[in-house]
Structure 1
Amino acid sequence: MDEALRRAMLVFWRWGYSEASIDRLTEGTGLGRGSLYGTFGDKSALFRKSLLRYAETYHPLYERALSGPHPSPEAVMAAYLRVALNRIADPAVPDGCLLTMSAAQLQALDAEGQAMVRAMIDSLRAMLEQALRAAGAGEQDAAELALCTLATNKSLAVLSRSGFSGEDLATVAAATARVARRPPPLLR
């Protein structure tokens, strides 16, 4: 069951909720329709379990990266984005990010799936804000920098699916982290 769930997660990650047909899910998991439904419930339930599996796999990596201590807010942002870059570079998983793909298709999800996606994004944002404050950012700066870092993370996922090179993605991540050193005039 655990392997089938991992494989279902990869199908949703590669195709998104809307394009992850039951045929793709049965092919990807190796389960027949009856076994798929009997084990996981309907497509929405399987998606939510897959999303939870994704969070259980990747959110601890972000937690470790943010646990610090970090000498500056810039270091916090760089550590967080490094996790995203490493995930994107992993040839064993699809390009992008299941959470990003799910956020982009939010309207296709049921209310419970929508709430899960939003809660997971909010959790990442809260982790970032806490780590940024611990690294010396004031409350407003921590909130702004967390949002900027989170938006960059989601942008990196989209750019990776669009074929941008790892070098291009690293350039975006590094430029974003430097914002903490010298916030642009728009934020001040």
Structure 2
Amino acid sequence: MSGRKQFDVGTALEQAMRVFWQRGYADASLDALGIATGLGRGSLYNTFGGKDALFRQCLDRYAETYGTRYEQALTGHPGDPVRAVEAFFDVVLARIADPSVPSGCLIAQSAAQAPMLDEGSGACVRALLDAQRRRVRAALADSPAAPGVLDDLATFVVAVNQSLAVLSRAGTPDPELRAVARLACTTVADTLAHAAAGHDRPATSGDAG
């Protein structure tokens, strides 16, 4: 029928997301987006509202895809926050190792280019990072550690996640990425164990005496 879109919007959005993921916002030209989606500039604008609007929709799609997996990992081990964090990193490493998707992480890639984003896109990236941090923080809640310690641990876990994405794009081998994740889990476990022993933070050499 005349005027009816002859393409699948979801498929086009998936292809556009991969362009942003692989190239980053700055290098994801309209030509590259058009080639990936099979759409001309006019169709891109009419369907998605321009590059910035399309970018935000791709961020949302990425978050829906992987955010659900993070949520399942972090909520799948009630009463065992360390295992929840381990499961979270298992999902992260599985995404990184997946040969069918670009390396790294779209959110990390976008955060690195934050100065180039418009206000709405920058706010979207920050909101997605905040959502990830809230998920991790909720998984740590069943712990005797002080709230401030748990806040710091949640930020730490998210920071390690973003670092893994950057390292993977630089070609760091999988065993090295897994070593980083293991050390992060050990840090979480040691900090929570220290809190369970009645301390608010791990002891340092300066605390002796």
Give me the TM-score of the superposition, normalised by structure 2: 0.85
Query: CA shift at 1:41, angstroms?
Result: 1.3
Q: Is the 8 A contact 2:114 2:122 kept in 1?
A: yes
Residue 48 of structure 1 corresponds to: 56
Q: Secondary structure at the match of 1:164?
A: coil
Residue 30 of structure 2 corresponds to: 22
Give me the TM-score of the superposition, normalised by structure 1: 0.94
Q: Secondary structure at the match of 2:157?
A: helix
Q: Does 1:133 align with 2:132?
A: no
Amino acid at match of 1:31: L
Amino acid at match of 1:75: R
Q: Is the 8 A contact 2:19 2:28 kept in 1?
A: yes
Per-residue CA distance 1:113-164 (angstroms, 9 max, x = gap): 1111101100110111111112554312211111111000000000000001
Aligned CA-pair RMSD: 1.6
Please list every run of 5 or more consecutive structure 2 residues that lacks an aligned counterpart in the other structure.
1-8, 192-201
Compare CA radii of gyration and give the structure with the larger one. Answer: 2
The percent identity for this pair of structures is 47
Amino acid at match of 2:128: M
Residue 44 of structure 2 corresponds to: 36
Query: CA shift at 1:30, angstroms?
Result: 1.3
Partners of 1:157 and 1:86 in 2: how far apart?
12
Q: Does 1:181 align with 2:168?
A: no
Q: Give 1:79-98 correspondences, 5 Å limit.
A: 79-98=87-106
Partners of 1:185 and 1:29 in 2: how far apart?
54
Structure 1 window deviating more from structure 2 (75-84 vs 160-169): it is 75-84
Partners of 2:155 and 2:131 in 1: how far apart?
12
Q: Secondary structure at the match of 1:181?
A: helix
Q: Is the 8 A contact 1:69 1:135 kept in 2?
A: no
Partners of 1:154 and 1:7 in 2: how far apart?
23
Q: Is the 8 A contact 1:74 1:179 kept in 2?
A: no
Query: CA shift at 1:7, angstroms?
Result: 0.3
Residue 164 of structure 1 corresponds to: 172
Partners of 1:5 and 1:72 in 2: how far apart?
37
Residue 74 of structure 1 corresponds to: 82
Richer in helix (by share): 1
Q: Does 1:13 align with 2:26?
A: no
Number of matched pairs: 187
Q: Is the 8 A contact 1:48 1:116 kept in 2?
A: yes
Greater relative contact order (CA < 8 Å, ≥ 6 in sequence): 1
Query: CA shift at 1:68, angstroms?
Result: 2.8
Q: Does 1:113 align with 2:136?
A: no
Q: Which runs of 4 or more aligned residues in structure 1 lie more than 6 Å from their structure 2 counterparts after TM superposition?
A: none
Partners of 1:70 and 1:164 in 2: how far apart?
32
